[in-house]
Each structure stands twice: as C-alpha cells, then as structure tokens.
Amino acid sequence: MSELARVPVSSVPDAEPLRIEGGPDGICLVRVGDSFHALADRCSHADVRLSEGEVDPEECSVECWKHGSAFSLIDGAPQSLPATNPVAVYQVTVDGDQVVVSS
C-alpha cells in the first residue's frame, strides 16, 4: 500500500467534498459523519472535478456538477447517467489526528 496524501482530520468538513493533491487525478476526500471516503477527483464521463460537486450523505454519494452523474463513495460505481464507468476509490485510514489516503 502506497500513501498518496495525509491531511488533518480537522480540515475535512462534514458532507462537503475536499480536493487534495495525490494520485493521477487528485483526490476527492469526503467525510460523512465519522467515515472518510476518497475517490479519484475526475468524473468518468467528463473531465470535471468531483470535488466541485455535491455530497448526498444519505446516499453516500457525490454528484458531478456538470451533467449530474452521481458516484458511490463506497465503491466508485456510477449511480446515475450519463456516467457508466466507475471512478477509482482509495483506502482511507485515520492515524491520530491525520486522515491518510493510500492506493
């Protein structure tokens, strides 16, 4: 497992995507309550940052602002059209007061 990024837990807002550097496309880091999720920060349908979209905490998904495709924060699977391909999902752990994203 390779560490891609490390950020303070306090810098990750609840139910709002946060772009952090790491991986080939950047990382869309999302906190939903006490859970943290990390996806590649690029919609599989269009070259758009998912970190600029909206989080649905009840569905545990993030929606691309450009065409409305939603992606599962759990497995990166598209939840709505027009996207049909998943986005990469990264491993997330909490190490003390740090969120660690790994591939």
According to the 3-state scheme, what is the secondary structure of 37-98? EEEECCCCCCCCCHHHCEEECCCCEEECCCCCCEEECCCCCECCCCCCCCCCEEEEEEECCE
pLDDT digits (tens, 9 = 90+) for 45-84: 998 999 999 999 999 999 999 999 999 999 999 999 999 9
- pLDDT score of 53: 98
11 falls in which pLDDT band (50, 70, 90)?
A: very high
Run of H or E residues at 20: strand 18-20
How confident is the model over 29-57, as a mean pLDDT? 97
CB atoms within 10 A of CB 28: 28
Domains in the chain, CATH or no CATH each: 3-102 (2.102.10.10)
Answer for the pair 61, 72: CB distance below 8 angstroms, yes or no: yes
**Average pLDDT for residues 12-28, to the nearest whole number?**
97
Which of the four pLDDT bands, split at 50, 70 and 90, describes residue 1? Answer: confident
Which amino acid is located at 70 in the chain? A
